[in-house]
Homo-oligomer: A and B are copies of this chain.
Amino acid sequence: MGTPNPASTYNQSTDKLLSILELLCVTGQPMRLNEISSKLNFNSSTALRFLNSLERNGYVYKDLDSNKYRMTYKICGLASYVSNSAEIINIASGPIRSLSYSLGECVCLAISQSYQVVYVYVCDGPKRILQSTQRIGKIAPMHATGVGKVLLTDFSDQEIDEMIAERGLTWYTENTITSKDQLLKELQIIKKQGYGFDNQECDLGARCIALPIRDYTDHIIASMSVTGPAEAMTDDFYKVHFDEIKRTADEISARLGYQQKK
């Protein structure tokens, strides 16, 4: 990770192609050849060749009137294979959509991968004008997110050490947990009460509650969060809706074969 492989074992075209794809996707707006080539510092004929290839393959569409290139939906199709192949998303998406719709807030499902949090399903709340910046595929630190901390409660001491060694405990806001001691204490609390908060620890202004999702192995395999602006996500809000939120998480666990202990 981070260490670049020797030149002979990788491929420059890949980098170029992906940077074009990323530019077109993130920008969201159709772009002219010149815009693309100058933004990426490609010679225009180089950019053109990549764009032609992308178009031939159906990923990009060139509007003949404006001469602008834009993404087609083909990449969404590819992506849907990836997200659909994960059993948990099939199982969890229904309950999550319902919860999001009922609360009018953003509900996320995240897993851990390589000591990071990966959001695998995000359902934006229709209520908010400022929609959350959470999106499917987004990577986030474990120690500074509600879902991350919940996932960490199921890590062994050794795994937590590895996580810290590999990823560190980066400071994001004045609330970020940046020492191992603090983190272990927090994990104890979350373990005991069965849910955790992110009190603007990653992003000032954003607060969430996060709960564990378990499967038949009894292990925490994912975490679900309800996220929103700190002013709205008050303790009161969570108190009022806790039962509904908890019921949703438990429903997902149950569908994954988790047998609740009593």
Q: Which chain A residues have a beta carbon within 8 Å of chain B's beta carbons?
A: 4-5, 8-11, 13-15, 17-18, 21-22, 25-26, 28-29, 48-50, 52-54, 56-59, 61, 71-85, 90, 94, 97-98, 101, 113-114, 118-120, 122, 124, 126, 135-139
| From B9, B49, B78, B119, contact of A11 by CB (8 A) | B49
Number of copies: 2
What residue in chain B is nearest A13 (Cβ atoms)?
B13
A11-B50, A73-B119, A78-B79 as given contacts; A61 in contact with B22, CB under 8 Å? no
Asked if A81 and B4 make an inter-chain contact with CB atoms under 8 angstroms apart, the answer reads no
Other A-B pairs, 11, CB within 8 Å; known A10-B53, A10-B56, A75-B75:
A5-B56, A11-B49, A14-B17, A14-B57, A15-B56, A17-B17, A25-B81, A26-B81, A28-B81, A76-B83, A97-B97
**Chain B nearest Cβ from A238, distance in angstroms:** 23
Asked if B137 and A74 make an inter-chain contact with CB atoms under 8 angstroms apart, the answer reads yes
**Chain B nearest Cβ from A47, distance in angstroms:** 10
Asked if A73 and B14 make an inter-chain contact with CB atoms under 8 angstroms apart, the answer reads no
Asked if B28 and A85 make an inter-chain contact with CB atoms under 8 angstroms apart, the answer reads yes
Asked if A9 and B84 make an inter-chain contact with CB atoms under 8 angstroms apart, the answer reads no
A75-B75, A75-B79 as given contacts; A94 in contact with B25, CB under 8 Å? no
Chain B residues with CB below 8 A from A10, complex form: 49, 52-53, 56
Asked if B113 and A72 make an inter-chain contact with CB atoms under 8 angstroms apart, the answer reads yes
Chain B residues with CB below 8 A from A71, complex form: 82
Asked if A18 and B57 make an inter-chain contact with CB atoms under 8 angstroms apart, the answer reads yes
A73-B83, A74-B137, A136-B77 as given contacts; A52 in contact with B9, CB under 8 Å? yes
Bound complex: CA of A72 vs CA of B11, how far in Å?
A: 19
Bound complex: CA of A15 vs CA of B207, how far in Å?
A: 43
Asked if B50 and A136 make an inter-chain contact with CB atoms under 8 angstroms apart, the answer reads no
A73-B136, A80-B135, A137-B77 as given contacts; A14 in contact with B61, CB under 8 Å? no
